[in-house]
Amino acid sequence: MLRWLRAFLLAATGLLTLAGAHAESPSPVDKLRELYRRPAEIPFPASNPYSENKAKLGQTLFFDPILSRSRTRSCASCHNPSLSWTDGLQVALGEKLKRQTFKSPTLLNIAWIEPLGWDGHFHTLESVTFGPITTPSNMNSSEKLVISRLSENPGYVQMFEAAFGKGHITREKIELALATFQRTIVTPDAPFDRWIGGDELAIDSDAKAGFALFNGKANCSSCHSGWLFTDNSFHDIGVARGKDLGRGKLFPSSTALKYAFKTPTLRDVARRAPYMHDGSIGTLRGVIELYDRGGINRPSRSAQIVPLHLTEQEKHQLIAFLETLTSPAKPYAVPSLPR
């Protein structure tokens, strides 16, 4: 396997020329594996450092429908840990089952993802908090109502004091707590991670061939890069034209950003159907078919999106690789809500 992968890397990635490499230089395999190696620690910003009490408060708020006007919706309604922190729906649903514009994005590894939102209009995780809470078609609440409800709840008063010390419950404290908890949502090792770490038996030969395609002929890694499998950027990949211009709404003079949406992480991707910002593609096979034909050819389409002419075997191998990015499912213990 290593001989075959070295040959691929030499031809497709240009990371290192084997013939001219010094004996002590890292091999192409080691070079590439390093690009996909998971970080050792979660990055918490200096403006919102981690504390156990703050994370516990944020976790409790996340699962509590007290944040929605009708007390029927919580953050977890759209970001369910059993569904890889999304909801499995084509587009998110708000109060009274009102359809939202976009599919619920996963919160997996959100500590490393900025800017946020399919069009990137949230600059920090903290700034996301009251977006869905106050949107009428989503949780339909208000800052004043949320703070009033939490302040009237003795259990929450105690939790806020444990996290922040004595003082009133404020919007900022709610934002800090929820963001702290969400940054702890990190994917466990997947089979791919074990292979990157040196376990040659962690994934099969089809998946290894798919990894080569991912970094080579299929050019997936041009956008889905690194251990997060996202470049944190925005691209028009030629998905069917809709009313929403994506990033182009924020930069109306930019042709390149018209219909450009956030590159999603591929972690747990096999469990996160349907796909795309609008949930318009139901299967991984459908996604690969989109990329294979190059999507809609229009002025805003990314230069990286071109017809691939993949064979049936290559499509199968790409799916086999993508399936190795799924971490083992584990039961999630939802916290008891304070009263």
Q: In the chain, where does DSSP find H-type helix?
A: 2-12, 28-35, 52-62, 75-78, 125-128, 130-134, 143-151, 154-164, 171-183, 191-196, 205-215, 284-293, 312-323
Question: Predicted confidence band at 8 (pLDDT cuts at 50, 70, 90)?
Answer: very low
Q: What is the rounded average pLDDT of the residues 302-312?
A: 96
Q: What is the rounded average pLDDT of the residues 107-131?
A: 97
> Which domains are delineated in the chain?
2-13+32-38+189-323 (1.10.760.10), 52-183 (1.10.760.10)
Dist CA 51 CA 333 (whole Å): 19
**Does the bond joining 274 to the residue before it have cis omega, within 30 degrees of 0?**
yes
Supply the DSSP symbol for 262. E
Dist CA 283 CA 275 (whole Å): 7
- Which stretch of DSSP H or E encloses residue 261? strand 261-262
pLDDT over 70, % of the chain: 91
The pTM of the full predicted model, rounded to 2 decimals, is 0.89
> Mind listing the pLDDT tens digit for each residue in 208-248?
999 999 999 999 999 999 999 999 999 999 997 778 899 99
Dist CA 316 CA 288 (whole Å): 10
> Mind listing the pLDDT tens digit for each residue in 124-165?
999 999 999 999 999 999 999 999 999 999 999 999 999 999
SS3 99: strand
